[in-house]
Structure 1
Amino acid sequence: MIRKFLKTTIASLLIITSAIGLSACGSKNSSNSSEKKEIKLGVSPGPYNDLFNAGVKPILEKEGYKVTLVNFSELLPSEVALTEGSVDFNVAQHNAYVKAYNKEKKANLVSIIKIPTVRAGIFSNKHKSLNEVKQGDKVFIPKDPSNAARAYALLEKSGWIKIKPGVVKTLATQKDIIENKNNIKIIEMDSSQIPRSMNEADYAVLPGAIEYMAKIDASKSLLSETLSDDLYITVAVDGKNKNAKWAQDIVKAYKSQDFKNYIKTHNSKGYWVLPDDLK
């Protein structure tokens, strides 16, 4: 489903790709330099760019780097720019997305480090426990394939549904449900609409980024997803740059004590889940 989503969206970005390709001619030459001190971050809306700007960028600047932010309206154009070389890295995708993108686009993006991630969770404005679920309750979940699959995996974790054996959890759809003992009504909708629509539902599954941007307290989650390695957000670069000094300095910045201290003092609401490398 991630692959299908990427295929249809990439098709609509051909004009963008061409434009970026022209503008990237000069920037590709600069991104080949392992020692360069000016690097470009492809920025799309979400908490991970905010975290980078506040907690990592200052560390890199102390090391003499100039970080330029290149803004995009969503993640996919940022990935295209990274593939074409007009930006050097981005910090807004999980490794499952990178793999699907590479397969669809015949690209060579590489995740160089897993970073703190906000988990999807089940929330409710009407109930204080999953045990309060009753027959026919409405449950809102995201409709985009990647987040929908994660939502179905989370609903299975709650015990409300069962997914057909053998189905890859990151590809699950509503058609893969083989048991729904409470006959809950699962309604797929645009992720950004879920927070403002929660009073119309009994329960809702919120992706981590949406939960963060809507300023919903993570501690109010009735159940949070279990993050597999492929679902942690990562720093992605073109494969040819993975060993460049600037790329490894980004890795070092995330692993630094300064960044660990930042997370400790800016995680009072429990949004950020740290991968083992950063604990």
Structure 2
Amino acid sequence: MFKKGVSIKTAIIISIVIIMIAALFAGCSSDKKQNAQTNAKPETNGKREVTVKVGAAAVPHAEILNFIKPKLKQEGINLEVVVLDDEGQLNPALQTKQIDANYFQHVPYLNSVAKEKGYDFVVAAKVHVEPIGFYSQKIKSKDELKEGAKIAIPNNPSNEYRSLALLQANGLIKLKEGIANYSATPRDIAENPKNLKFVEVEAAQLTRALPDVDGAVINTNFVLEAKIDPKTALFREDANSPYANDLVVRKGDETRPEIKKIAEYLTSPDVKKFLGDKYGVAVVPAF
């Protein structure tokens, strides 16, 4: 094995050195393998975890998403709920792929902005209805509305029509025939027996405007955020409202397995019970 002339002692020393070098390389290889395992994304139930960002309104949408978050975690989906101060930025954020989906809007609203902005979005799940309601700090019944009473309504096209349709359903006004695309303004009122005066206000500001008007038609999510009891509405939409709040994604993403799983959990019996227990009449399941 060793060249002639090499002493047994020298041979033993060389052998020991070779063994030590081999052990050192083996240790480095083991450390690299361990570090690779440490830096790898965690797996749940044998599946590599996938992060999905969903933009949402603060109440109740983000609360509902956070309710299903632990269940999705078990499925290998890390749900990241993104709440923006301006809900109007949730569609642009989806368009520019800052988020994977959003959950804050109904189809009439989406349709009212999609054509103008060029959005190519689809609904992945219909989740809940927030029945819009009429609130007042000055009267206890719609019959107490006086001639020329001042009424605040949302100023975005779809919710403006929705508010006027609610007032029509309660006999306070009558809209022109043939209004299409869920779009109407006070100019489309054909009959106004009490000569009601309408103030168009940014939807998120309606609760603040309430003390200055005789009544206001307000979306339930803003009522909840303002800590107003939704049961105090003088009248509201029923559960048959076409204004279901939806999980919305870019066209084609509705088939992504993680999006389908989020949609499945959002329309589960557990969520239905959660809505009833937490929100009562304010948030009604649409599934």
Give me the whole-angstrom Cα distance separating, in 2, the residues matched to 1:107 and 1:142: 23
Mark the CA change 1:73 to 1:199 in structure 2 (over 3 Å): closer, same or farther.
closer
Question: SS of the residue aligned with 1:111?
Answer: strand
Give the count of matched residue pairs.
240
Greater gyration radius: 2
- Cα deviation for residue 44 of structure 1 reads 4.4
Mean Cα displacement is larger for which, 158-167 or 63-72? 63-72
Contact 1:95 1:232 in 2 (8 A): yes
1:274 aligns with 2:270: no
Give me the whole-angstrom Cα distance separating, in 2, the residues matched to 1:135 and 1:150: 23
TM-score when normalising by structure 2: 0.76
Question: SS of the residue aligned with 2:54?
Answer: strand
1:157 aligns with 2:199: no
Letter of the structure 2 residue corresponding to residue 271 of structure 1: A
Correspondence for 2:62: 49
Give me the whole-angstrom Cα distance separating, in 2, the residues matched to 1:242 and 1:36: 19
Please, what is the CA RMSD of the aligned residues? 2.2
Mark the CA change 1:133 to 1:71 in structure 2 (over 3 Å): closer, same or farther.
closer
Mark the CA change 1:210 to 1:132 in structure 2 (over 3 Å): closer, same or farther.
same
1:170 aligns with 2:187: no
Correspondence for 2:20: none
Contact 1:149 1:169 in 2 (8 A): no
Correspondence for 2:37: none
- Cα deviation for residue 258 of structure 1 reads 2.5
1:144 aligns with 2:156: yes
Contact 1:40 1:87 in 2 (8 A): yes
Give me the whole-angstrom Cα distance separating, in 2, the residues matched to 1:140 and 1:98: 22
Alignment of 1:122-141 (within 5 A): 122-141=134-153
Match of 1:235 among 238, 247, 257: 247
Question: SS of the residue aligned with 1:196?
Answer: helix
Give me the whole-angstrom Cα distance separating, in 2, the residues matched to 1:101 and 1:164: 23
Mean Cα displacement is larger for which, 120-129 or 66-75? 66-75
Alignment of 1:193-208 (within 5 A): 193-208=205-220
Correspondence for 1:118: 130
Letter of the structure 2 residue corresponding to residue 207 of structure 1: N
Mean Cα displacement is larger for which, 167-176 or 72-81? 72-81
Correspondence for 1:7: none
Contact 2:103 2:245 in 1 (8 A): yes
TM-score when normalising by structure 1: 0.78
Contact 1:122 1:223 in 2 (8 A): yes
Give me the whole-angstrom Cα distance separating, in 2, the residues matched to 1:217 and 1:71: 23
1:92 aligns with 2:104: yes
Give the gaps of 5 or more residues in structure 2: 1-47
- Cα deviation for residue 45 of structure 1 reads 4.3
Give me the whole-angstrom Cα distance separating, in 2, the residues matched to 1:190 and 1:96: 17
1:182 aligns with 2:189: no
Residue deviations 1:68-124, cap 9 Å, x none? 234433233221221222211111111122333332233321111111221211111
Mark the CA change 1:112 to 1:229 in structure 2 (over 3 Å): closer, same or farther.
farther
Contact 1:153 1:169 in 2 (8 A): no
Mean Cα displacement is larger for which, 96-105 or 207-216? 96-105
Mark the CA change 1:151 to 1:261 in structure 2 (over 3 Å): closer, same or farther.
closer
- Cα deviation for residue 162 of structure 1 reads 0.8
1:38 aligns with 2:78: no
Match of 1:219 among 193, 217, 231: 231
